[in-house]
Chains A and B, each alone.
Chain A
Amino acid sequence: MEIPNSAAADLARTQAEDAALAALVSQYAGALYRVAYSVLRNPADAEDSVQEAFLRVLRHRDTLGEVRDQRVWLIRIVWNIVLDRKRRAKTRPETDDVAELARVLPCDGLSAEELAAAAQHHAHVLGCVEKLPAKERQVLQLSAFEELNTVEIAQVLGITESSVRSRLFRARNLMADLLNHSRSIR
């Protein structure tokens, strides 16, 4: 048996892996950040989650060639990280208040009052989303990404496509009830 014994080959392989990883980062870091931010609503935590996801990729870089859909695979990794973080930080107070939301939301042609009203509305909606059961909430959050269709959401969550549809249907009904209920209280 012949054992390759060349440091040059190792160096070339390492450089190739680094280049592939850098390409992955530049291609998917934004999408992963948006996935993380939509759940955590904290820019620093979302960026940390993206970093941790690529660290996991670095640890399993030998199996990168076996991955069929790298985008869904990466989203699944960051999704698990985000859920884990959120579970651990359950007691921490929510950082997404109205002022923070008004700061990050786009303000195209909106006055300050309109922007504040929109931020208040979105904060209320997002607060209602947090009240949903976990399964329905996760499907609803993932469905907001235009990059993901139902099949890909099913792959990320590890469930069937029909389950995604039924959960999405339940989530929308629950959200409608929640928002109607809060509106009637007002």
Chain B
Amino acid sequence: MNSRSQDANLLNSKSGTGSAIVAGSVEASLRLIARLPAPEGLEDRVIGGLRTVPRTARILHWPAALGPTGSWMRGAAAAAIVFVVAGGGWGVYTRVQTSQPSRVIVMPPRAGAGGGFSSAGAMRTPQTLNGPVVANPVAAEPDKKTGNAQSAQVKPLKKAPAQIAPVTSGPMHVARGRNASSQTTTPAAK
């Protein structure tokens, strides 16, 4: 064999002396292993093993009713399959709602910070929040003549507003009560 002789030349080209002999001994060892005979009865065992393997992958044949004589039935089956597939697809198409377009909130453009002052993140507080709570409210002394509570330091108003809420107890209405007492005492002073 041609390639065999080339291999032999390759072997001999390796420095010609000791290493060729060494490589030859390597080849001899490997060939000795490669020539070992197969054990007795190997073929029978392999064939026996192949026979025990289940042959599951077989071709499924049409039933006898769907043979060449029953081509109309095959056509009907194909039409039924097409009908079921198309009907299912149509049902899914009609039931599935189209997704609504997402609401996009358009943010107003920020004022340009071209040299102006910024709010530094401060937020406007609405007036609907509760006001400050007075820790020790001043108790109003009732007037002996009129019976109305009057404070000595309160100056009477010249002109009272038309609608004034009545004085009620509680810390929230202290300031307003003072005004109310002055307003009620104004006619008596006159």
Contact = CB atoms under 8 A, between A and B. Distances in A.
Interface of A: 2-3, 5, 14, 18, 21-22, 25-26, 29-30, 33-35, 37-38, 41, 43, 47, 50-51, 54-55, 58-59, 104-106, 121-122, 125-126, 128-129, 140-141, 143-146, 149-151, 161, 165, 168-169, 172-173, 175-177, 179-180
Contact of A3 (B10, B33, B61): B61
Contact of B50 (A55, A140, A169, A173): A55
Interface in B52-73: 53, 55, 57, 61-62, 64, 67-68
Given A51-B49, A58-B53, A145 B34 contact: yes
B32 A54 contact: no
A30 B42 contact: yes
Given A25-B46, A172-B14, A180-B18, A144 B7 contact: no
B170 to A, nearest CB: 88
B27 A144 contact: yes
B166 interface: no
B37 A30 contact: yes
Given A5-B67, A25-B50, 18 more contacts: A5-B64, A29-B42, A34-B35, A47-B39, A50-B46, A58-B50, A121-B29, A122-B29, A122-B33, A140-B26, A144-B31, A172-B14, A175-B23, A176-B19, A176-B20, A176-B22, A179-B22, A180-B19
5 contacts: A3-B68, A34-B34, A149-B1, A168-B7, A175-B26
Contacts of A105: 32
A5 to B, nearest CB: 6
Contacts of B49: 51, 54-55
A104 B36 contact: yes
Given A41-B33, A105-B32, A144-B33, A172 B42 contact: no
Interface in B1-41: 1-4, 6-7, 10-11, 14, 18-20, 22-23, 25-27, 29-39
A177 B18 CA distance: 10
Given A29-B46, A54-B46, A104-B36, A2 B68 contact: yes
Contacts of B19: 172-173, 176-177, 180
Contacts of A172: 10-11, 14, 19, 23, 26
B47 interface: yes
A50 B46 CA distance: 8
A125 to B, nearest CB: 4
Interface in B64-113: 64, 67-68
Contact of B10 (A2, A22, A169): A169
Given A5-B62, A176-B19, A141 B43 contact: no
B45 interface: yes
Contacts of B55: 14
A184 to B, nearest CB: 12
Nearest to B25: A125
Contacts of B18: 176, 180
- Quick one: which of B35, B38, B53, B62 has the most chain A CB within 10 A? B38
B42 A50 contact: yes
B39 A180 contact: no
A38 B42 contact: no
B39 A43 contact: yes
